[in-house]
Chains A and B, each alone.
Chain A
Amino acid sequence: MALASMIPDLTPVLPGLIFYGLSGLAIVAAVAAATAPKIVHAAFGLMAAFFGVAGLYALLGSDFLALTQVVVYVGGILVLLVFGVLLTGRTKAALGLERPIRTMPAAFAGGALLFGLLATILASDFGDGGRTLADLPEPPSTTAALGRALLDPNQYLLPFELVSVFLLAALVGAAFLVRRRRDGP
């Protein structure tokens, strides 16, 4: 009992701690992805940013999306990007002939855009009544509701089916683009 009273109750500040930790991870990783001279390092920065954003999804109560983010982005898209880096890096980068990235003008443009966005966000009223995470009710698990919404003809069934056709088209298109040509170029 004495020990329990010595440990401070962290419950009210826990969302804040988690938020600042995850968003710090995401922002540092994203800036590293933007400025790393080597493309492989940028890919790893992107991976850390994906994990940070997945954590923020979980903090916002979108448990299904957080897991999908890890599976699709980290497990799929990032692996694809790293394959792209490995398959295309054999010439100039290996010889150190790759030209350096244009950090300064790009950082200036990105910084100006960020300044404008932050000014707009801070000046806007989003009609959320200044609520914080603690004021919101505990979110229910989204997975079952999401499955029902996606397969409900009155909600998202049509876009869901269209996406399946779209993904099939992308699959066929990607396979067609990288096929080996037998009869010369």
Chain B
Amino acid sequence: MTTLALLQSIGLVHFLVVGAVLFCAGITTVLARRNAVGILIGLELILNAANLNLVAFERFGPAPLRGTVFAIFVLAVAAAEAAIALAIVLNVFDSRDEIDVDETTALKG
């Protein structure tokens, strides 16, 4: 395929591939980081990948606005999640001087 044809053939699959790569980068971040804030960074990447898929399906599908509305709700949940998670992280740091998730094992059975 020539470069020109490649540049003219941006379809749904292209956006889904970008979403998949972002999702896997997020999963890798969540698995790799020991820092609780780092895990939050991975979570935000995962939510962004999901939103990108929603918007792409909306654009290439028959129903206008549905994906955008869902993405806005995801955005609201992500904002609340970040605020609550950071409050918890700050509390853990206050009591233990540590946010390494491998070290905070007080609730481990």
Which A residues lie at the B interface, using CB under 8 A? Answer: 12-13, 15-17, 19-20, 23, 26-27, 30-31, 33-35, 39, 42-43, 46, 49-50, 53, 56-57, 60-62, 64-65, 68-69, 72-73, 76-77, 80-81, 83-85, 87-88, 91-92, 98-99, 101-103, 105-107, 109-111, 113-114, 117-118, 121-122, 126, 128, 130-134, 136, 139, 142, 145-146, 149-150, 156, 159, 163, 166-167, 170-171, 173-174, 177-178, 185
Residues of B within 8 A of A12 (CB): 7-8
Main secondary structure of the interface of B (DSSP, over half): helix
Contact of B44 among A46, A83, A133, A156 (CB under 8 A): A46
Interface contact B55-A65, CB-CB below 8 Å? yes
Which B residues lie at the A interface, using CB under 8 A? Answer: 4, 6-18, 20-29, 31-38, 40-42, 44-45, 48, 51-52, 55-61, 64-65, 67-69, 71-73, 75-84, 86-91, 93, 95, 97-100, 102
Interface contact A34-B87, CB-CB below 8 Å? no
Q: Which of B6, B82, B88 has the most CB of A within 10 A?
A: B82
